[in-house]
Structure 1
Amino acid sequence: MVEKVGNYNSLRKKKDVIYTYKYQTPDGKSDVSTEKYIFNGELSYGSYKQHQRTFPDLEGEIEQGYDGSEYWLKHNQKVLNDTTRLKRVAFNRPTNFYWFTMFQKLLDTGLNYEYIGEKTLNEIAYDIVKVTFNSNEGKLTDIYQLYLNKNTLLVDQFLFTVADFGIMETPNLMTVQYEEIDGMLIPTKRRYKKSNWNAEVSDKPWIEVTWSNIRFNNDLNMTDFKK
């Protein structure tokens, strides 16, 4: 699967990425941000022109960043040092980065794989693989359960937990659709909602996530990620 979508070295060769991120909830609220990442060092920046879910009480532009050592937040170009808000930034920045790079990073050290078995859904045969992460100092870590399409060798969907918010018993199911960009397969259309560990979803509506205007090799540098 990693050979097919491209490995992390493939991303490093592209150096960086800029794209538009849209997160849409069923109640009509959405976040729209311009995301910028440098792959070497996992630097992350987001400029939110719409943030109805992330700090909706703040009017105007919000900027979040991770410069390799510090998370920071700006509102209308003014630095905010609110510890509660910075905790949200410390979740958003690595999470958005990881979602974009997840499939390329599945061969990282510190990951554990368990073959769960085979399953056929909608006449498509899947291999199911559980992925866990080595924990630092006993910290709770996420669990992923990948549904690998035996025909295409791609992950069509996966179950995931959200350890940072203690959501471990009831996973979400994420389905993905790919787009080929600059020689790599990127899951640009995504949707998710509550499920169980048999991938039987709830009857609630989907949360939609889309990535668009993806551009690699933008000559970004460290200063682009400093507050």
Structure 2
Amino acid sequence: MRMNSITKLNVLTLVFLSFLLASCQDKNQKNTENQNQPEFQNKGHELVYEMVQKVGDFSSLADKKSVEYTYTYVTADGGTDISQEKYLFDGEYSYGRYTTHERTLPQFEGDIEQGYNGTEYWLKHNGEVITDEEALTRVKFNRPTNYYWFTMMQKLLDPGINYEYIGERPINDKEYHIVKISFDSPDDKPTDTYQLYINKETSIVDQFLFTVVDFGVEETPYLMLLDYEKIDGLLIPTKRKYKASTWNADLSDEGWITVNWTDIKFDTGITKDDFEK
């Protein structure tokens, strides 16, 4: 009888300790999540944060170290660029080998290579280094732009970003939150503006408006439509098309420009040496 009482007491003690341990672990997990969660500027900031958690945050992307893929860009009149892109996420190193470049530096016949090695932008044509400043200006636009488009969703939580919640709107039987994105400019130069349409049901961006200040696209934005593909645990917007629009997302009569990313491979073993000219 005494042994039964002691056994019951031990069992109750073990149950209590197990409950206490589980409670502490749950509390620690919640504390960690709260530490990782930023202090939100407003509702727009919070919606963007939730979207990034859905597609995969930057730490999830950075853990993959690098990416290689085929980039295909086709203008409304059929002008085509095809490049083999490589990026290192640490340092934002960027490389592209263009086997077709009817839109980008078409004056060079044959393959061209563009690179950013962390300090310098460079260009090569058929293996020879090109130093023409006008051509290098295009490289200085292409390299960070291509990298940014690939990492855009994750980088929407970078420092120096301002969020404004515009409101709600139905489009094609779907309900959207609309969030305006603008960027701090230390030298007061004009910067691009984005307007995200975040699907209420999925929490991802189905489309967004954007400007391209470097090419004079400011008053009349483009509207970009996105289709996602799940690759190695991340939702990647691999199929895109865009055309001129209004800030109310009313499309122009112009043809679509399409951008597709295919054969995406992460953590390919490339190093900083692969980005030297």
Q: TM-score range by the shorter chain?
A: over 0.9
Point out where structure 2 has 5 or more consecutive residues left out of the alignment. Answer: 1-50
Aligned ranges for residues 133-148 of structure 1 at < 5 Å?
Answer: 133-148=183-198
Give the C-alpha shift of residue 203 in structure 1: 1.1
TM normalised by structure 2 equals 0.81
What are the superposed Cα offsets for residues 90-146 of structure 1, whole Å, 9 maximum, x if unpaired?
000000000000001111111110000000000100000000011021111100000
Partner-residue secondary structure (3-state), 2:187 = coil
**Equivalent residue, structure 1, for 2:150:** 100
Partner-residue secondary structure (3-state), 2:63 = helix
**Equivalent residue, structure 1, for 2:80:** 30
Give the C-alpha shift of residue 166 in structure 1: 2.4
User: Is residue 2:250 matched to residue 1:200?
Assistant: yes
User: Is residue 2:156 matched to residue 1:109?
Assistant: no
Among the aligned pairs, what percent are the same residue? Answer: 61
**Equivalent residue, structure 2, for 1:124:** 174
**Equivalent residue, structure 2, for 1:158:** 208
Structure with greater helix share of residues: 2
Larger radius of gyration: 2
User: Is residue 2:99 matched to residue 1:49?
Assistant: yes
Partner-residue secondary structure (3-state), 2:223 = strand
| CA distance in 2: counterparts of 1:179 and 1:141, whole angstroms | 29
| CA distance in 2: counterparts of 1:166 and 1:132, whole angstroms | 17
| CA distance in 1: counterparts of 2:188 and 2:131, whole angstroms | 29
Aligned AA (1:73): L
Give the C-alpha shift of residue 37 in structure 1: 0.2
**Equivalent residue, structure 1, for 2:260:** 210
Point out where structure 1 has 5 or more consecutive residues left out of the alignment. Answer: none
How many positions carry a matched residue from both structures? 227
User: Which of 182, 195, 207 is the equivalent residue of 2:232?
Assistant: 182
**Equivalent residue, structure 1, for 2:67:** 17
| CA distance in 2: counterparts of 1:98 and 1:164, whole angstroms | 15
Partner-residue secondary structure (3-state), 2:148 = helix
Structure with greater strand share of residues: 1
**Equivalent residue, structure 1, for 2:133:** 83
Aligned AA (1:95): T
Aligned-pair Cα RMSD in Å: 0.6
Partner-residue secondary structure (3-state), 1:102 = helix
Give the C-alpha shift of residue 26 in structure 1: 1.7
**Equivalent residue, structure 1, for 2:35:** none
Structure with greater contact order relative to length (CA < 8 Å, sep ≥ 6): 1
